[in-house]
């Protein structure tokens, strides 16, 4: 049976179709989910894609967190459903308290769009199993509110528990504390990442790299072997 991965579209989402394509390339079936849906259509995993949900009014992800679809997402994520939040999706996961910390405006106050070098810190989550710890990859980054912040206790806890999933290398593009580009929850089923792996899945388009494809093959293997 083919794994079914839901992709949530909010008003202002930009990367839902790209994410669906990445899922399809990995060999799974993408399932479109609308922000007003309260039924997740029995998907095996969910991706909250990038964009500017609700125009980033109030703050990025703050309104989307209260969309009807988030009620079952939060409930099922706490029960073990794999959930990946990319860029705006990462912001939504912090607003929904599925991941700790918060996302603030870039320290230089400008939108940034670049190919970003990362180091994989945790290759044992549901979404990172096809990487290896310490692996260096390049993933496109595009954000205005990408600065990850948390109190020192939370940051120390994330470090001690190995829950920093990805870290910026060579250059910190947005002022994120401790160069954090992505984190995971304690169970490893919920991952948030600021760069966009769905834009690095085919050699002929996007960044010209395929460094982002393992996100989607990782979850497929996790679901198949569950």
35, 87, 121, 199: the active-site residue: 87
Closest by CA to 193, choosing from 208, 207, 214, 209, is 214
196 is an active site residue? yes
Backbone angles phi, psi at 89, to 5 degrees: -65, -35
Residue 85 CA to residue 99 CA, distance in Å, equals 10
35, 95, 121, 196: the active-site residue: 196
159 is an active site residue? no
- Its sign, for the CA torsion 155, 160, 165, 170, is positive
35, 49, 95, 198: the active-site residue: 198
87 is an active site residue? yes
- Its sign, for the CA torsion 199, 6, 55, 64, is negative
Query: What is the C-alpha end-to-end distance of the chain, expressed in Å?
Result: 13
Active site amino acids: 87, 196, 198
């Amino acid at each position: 049976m083919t794994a079914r991965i839901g992709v949530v579209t909010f008003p202002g989402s930009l990367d839902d179709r790209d994410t669906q394509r990445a899922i399809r390339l990995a060999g799974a079936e993408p399932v479109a989910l609308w922000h007003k849906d309260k039924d997740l259509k029995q998907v095996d995993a969910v991706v909250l894609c990038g964009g500017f949900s609700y125009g980033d009014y109030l703050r990025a992800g703050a309104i989307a967190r209260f969309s009807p679809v988030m009620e079952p997402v939060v409930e099922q994520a706490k029960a073990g459903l794999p959930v990946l939040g990319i860029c705006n999706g990462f912001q939504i996961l912090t607003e929904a308290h599925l991941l700790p910390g918060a996302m603030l405006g870039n320290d230089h106050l400008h939108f940034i769009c670049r190919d970003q070098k990362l180091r994989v810190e945790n290759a044992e989550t549901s979404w990172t199993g096809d990487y290896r710890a310490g692996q260096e990859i390049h993933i496109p980054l595009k954000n205005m509110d990408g600065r990850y912040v948390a109190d020192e206790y939370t940051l120390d806890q994330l470090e001690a528990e190995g829950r920093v999933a990805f870290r910026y290398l060579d250059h910190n593009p947005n002022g994120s504390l401790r160069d954090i580009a992505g984190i995971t929850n304690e169970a490893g089923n919920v991952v948030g990442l600021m760069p966009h792996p769905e834009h690095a899945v085919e050699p002929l388009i996007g960044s010209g790299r395929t460094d982002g494809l393992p996100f989607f093959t990782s979850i497929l293997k996790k679901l198949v072997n569950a």
